[in-house]
Every structure is written in structure tokens, then in C-alpha cells.
Amino acid sequence: MAELIKLDKQRVNTLWRLKGKLMLRSYTRERGRLVGAIILILFLGPLVIAAAIGSAIGYFRLPSPWPGQLLGIILVGLWLIWLIFPILFSTLNEGADITRLLIYPLTQRDLIASVLLGTLFDYPTYLMLPMLLAVLIGWGGSLALPVVIVGIILSYANMVFIGLLVGTALGGILQSRRFRDVAIIFTALLGSSCYFLQVGLGRLIENLTQTMRFEEITALRPLLILQWFPTGAAAQAIVQASDGQWLASLGWLLYSTLWLFAVVWVWWKLVLRLTTGDGFLFARAPRPQTKSQVTKPRATNLPVWLRWLPTDLAHIIHKELKAVWRTPQRRVGLIQGLLAPVFMVGFIFFRNDSSFNSGPSLSSVTNYNFIGLGLPLYALFIYWVTAFNMLGWEGKGLPTLFLTPIPRQRIFLGKSIALYCIASLPFLLVGIVFAFVLSDWVSVGGVLTGLIAGLSTVGVVAVFAARFPSPVDQKSRRRRSNISTRGGCLPALANIVLLLPLIFLLAVPAAIPLLLAYFFELPWILFIALPLTTAYALFIFWLGCRLAGGLLSTREPEVLAATRVES
């Protein structure tokens, strides 16, 4: 038995150091990722530590048998996070690709041990260790300490390998474009609807507390169900050992160990199938096409509604519209921009007068005509988000775009027109809804002013897109913020510290007639000034495209280097 679990310490140490070097290199090559890691630790670290302290207090202070029930809930909850996270986001273990290590003379147990130890460098481990340390503090102060230690190790190993199993078993599905599109849109909408989820969850808890008595809640024993999960079995073993039932405790440890062996065995077999080309569990690996299967590209015709434009502009606009539709991250940006005003002011329409003693209700919302003044600000936001980093979104197709014999100014002109039209669709939809609900001239003026301010916004963004581009990983299953830190701190700071104030400053002349008309209650001021503000915004739009084209013609190699995604 000792020979079966014997490890080559030198090889395991080498693999562990390799994982550490890969992690260090990822931070040194992408300084923005280091900034993101610091922000994540500063934001989530206190929450995790507070949760760990709270759980430790619960282990000591809760009446029996709720300390054991709490332990089962926490361990199974962490296990479910490692189970679901690879499906919705990405694999939790970001170490060396194990399929590339199979060509080396390494034993199976050495590779598995290196995978388990390598997770000590991963984000989720840092966030999980305080919770496991709280388990050790809360349950390790008795003769059950050996069982507590073994249970924690088994729980940690079960969490790691269930994540690897899911990521490998569903590899073909997770890497597919359709799943990536659905996952990005689903997670973005889920994150954007936190307010409504909070309201719904609060009402659910309120209903449960009103229908269930305190005695019924305290009589619940969730561990009786959770004990059949791998980590729930470890929790039950710790509880049984603390009660002096050593035989039952060993039985639950054995059950958790069998779970671990089964998961590791299935994961290893799937890794071998992937490496040898037999495919995944639910999707086979793609095979190279034969000559008969290769299809020649067909010539695409321009839509009828674009044929009246110059040929070069029409092709650029058509390409940009198709690229936005085919890139899920950009589609999500449009959906979030469309839903943003609903999430920001939706409480006015959905609020409950019984829980709010003051403030506007649905019956009096029409009195708040000043809401129309916020439409130009919303326009600046959605036009900025849509047109931001327009060169970085080209991805691997950017060098091909630079090879086309089209003046660089015309490239920016075509892309800017397409992005302006794309952003105008959700803005017009939101503006029409607000104008219909509020039924006043201020909302109509806000819509017109927003459309005009959008022209100057897109022109300014085009200049910054040529000067401060950022790489975009279009194959990622999660949607990064448009202000990606992958391009470094300087582009991110420039696009926040310089771009946003400049957008607002150049949009002020277009908004002055609306403000004057509102404060002096003279709507004709706005409509008389529309030709002048439109001409001003068109000039900023044209000037921005011209300056962006001049910048691009002098620094194309720098733009290509700045937008290259490291594989």
C-alpha cells in the first residue's frame, strides 16, 4: 500500500515550482492582472474573513445540533461552487496544462499530486482557506482533531477534482461558441439584475418566516441530506467524531474517500481520452477536414440599404455590424446598456408604498419631468460603451483590416457610423418609452439632445481607440469589462481620467439649449438651436475620425502590438 501512494518528491517539487513560475509570469506579463488581483483581495478578502469569523462563532455559540448542520452547509456550499464555477465562468485550476505533461516520464500519482498542490496558487484557494481554517478552529479543540484534519483534506481534494472533472467532461461543450455565447449573456444578465434578485429573495425569506414557526425552523436537519455529498460526508464524520462515535466517523471518512477516488479515476480517464484524440465525454474532438469537405468562401453582397453609400464605407459598415452581432461580449454590452435605465430607475415603478413612506409612486411619476434631463447622460454612457476600443474588438482580424487599401480615416468613419447606429437603437427604444410614460416635451428634447451628443461622443472615442487600444480575448467564456486591464494601466487610466471628462466637456454645448429651455420653460429655444448643435456634433464627429485616421497611419505596428492577445 505504501508503494502505491509513494511519490517522487523531486518531481512533485519541480511541478509545483513550475506552477508557481507560471503564476508569477502571468502577473509580470500582464500588470493589469496584478492590479485586478489586489482589487479582488481588497474587496472580497474582508467578506471572506468576516464569513470565516462568523462561521467559527457559530461553531462555538449555536445550540446543538446546529454547529454540525452549519458545518455541512458550508462544506457542501463550497463544493457546489467548485462544481458550478467551471460551467459558468472558467476552470478554477489555472495551472499547467496537464495534457502537455503526459509526454514526460511522470507517474499518474505524481501528476495528480502536483495538480492538487498547484491549486495553492489559485484565487479560489485563497478565498476558501479562511473557511477551512475556521473549521479547524471550531472543531479541532478535542480528541477529534485527527478526524478534523483528514476531513478538511478530503473536502479540499473533492472540491478541486470535481471542478477538474466538470471542466474536462464538458470540455467540448464548454469550448463551443454557442455555449460561450449563452454563458456570457446569462452571467451578464444575472449580474445586472442583482437588485431584483435581492428584492425577490427578501420577499421569499419574509414569506417563509411568516409561514414557518421558529420551532419548525430549528427542527430542520439539513445534514441528513447533505451527508450524502462528498464534503457533506466529511462534515458528518467530524460531527460523529466530536460526539465520540468513532466507528461511524471512520465510515463517513471512507465514504468521502471513495467519492474522491471515483472522481479522480473518471477525470484521469477523460484526460487520457482527450490526449489520445478520442474526444470528450459528450462531444468528440474536431477532426481535420478533407479536401472534399473544404468549402470555398462565397462572395457576399452588400444589403440594399447600404448600396447608396460609397463602396469602401459600405463594406466597413457592413463588416462592423456583422462583427458586433457575432461577438457575444459586445452583444451583452448592448443588452446591459438597454437594461441600465430599468435597473437605475425601475424602483420607481416597482416599489411598494407599504415599505416606502416617501418618494414618488407610479401614479405620480409623470410629475417628474426632470427625468428627461438624464437621457443625454444615458446617451453618453451607451455611446461610449458601444464605441469604446473599436480597434481592439477586431481581434485577430486587425492585421487583415490594415492590409486593405482603404484610407485610415475612412476606416474610422465607417466603424463610427456603424457603432453610432447600433448604440442609437437601444437609446431610441429607452427614450421613446420614457417619453411615452412621462408625456412631456423635456423627454423628447432629451432624446434629441442625446442623439446629437452621441455624435461627438463617438468622434472622441475614435481618437482614443487609435491612441490607447487594448487587447480583447473574444474566446473567453466570461465578459471582461470594456476597460480591460490586459492592455496595461496606462490605457485604462487614460480612458477613465481623460476620456470621460473630455466626452462630457464636448457634449456640454449640445446640452445647453435643453437646459436653458427647461429652466426658463421655453421649449422653442431647444428646437431653434437643433440645427446649430447638430452641425457642431457632426464637426466633432468628422474631426475625431480624421484625427484617429492620422494617428493610426503613423502607429499601426504599435496598435497591433497593443491589441495582441497572449495565448
Average pLDDT, the chain: 75
Length of the chain: 567
pLDDT at residue 59 tops 90: no
Q: Which residue has the higher pLDDT, 189 or 462?
A: 462
Q: In which band, very low, low, confident or very high, does the pLDDT at 352 lie, cut at 50, 70 and 90?
A: very low
Q: In which band, very low, low, confident or very high, does the pLDDT at 413 lie, cut at 50, 70 and 90?
A: very high
Q: What is the mean pLDDT of the segment spanning 55-78? A: 87
pLDDT at residue 1 tops 70: no
Q: What is the mean pLDDT of the segment spanning 499-523? A: 90
Joined together, the cell numbers standing for residue 300 give: 457576399
User: Tens digits of per-residue pLDDT, 525-534?
Assistant: 888 999 999 9
Q: What is the mean pLDDT of the segment spanning 206-219? A: 61
Judged by average pLDDT, the poorest of 13-22, 218-227, 445-454 is 13-22
Q: What is the mean pLDDT of the segment spanning 41-57? A: 84
pLDDT at residue 181 tops 70: no
Determine the Cα–Cα distance for residues 491 and 487; give it in Å rounded to an integer. 7
pLDDT at residue 366 tops 50: no
pLDDT at residue 505 tops 70: yes
- What are the distances in angstroms from CA 139 to CA 130, 314, 335, 496, 508? 14, 69, 48, 49, 63
Determine the Cα–Cα distance for residues 422 and 46; give it in Å rounded to an integer. 41
pLDDT at residue 419 tops 60: yes
Q: What is the mean pLDDT of the segment spanning 478-492? A: 53
Measured over the CA atoms of residue 156, residue 159, residue 165 and residue 168, the dihedral's sign is negative
Q: What is the mean pLDDT of the segment spanning 224-241? A: 89
Q: What is the mean pLDDT of the segment spanning 315-331? A: 79
**pLDDT the model gives residue 508:** 92
**pLDDT the model gives residue 417:** 93
* CA-based end-to-end distance of the chain: 42
Highest mean pLDDT: which range of 239-248, 261-270, 318-327, 363-372 = 239-248
Strands (DSSP E) found in 160-258: none
Judged by average pLDDT, the poorest of 13-27, 377-391, 434-448 is 13-27
Q: In which band, very low, low, confident or very high, does the pLDDT at 124 lie, cut at 50, 70 and 90?
A: low
**What are the domain boundaries of the chain?**
12-171+222-276, 304-347+369-562
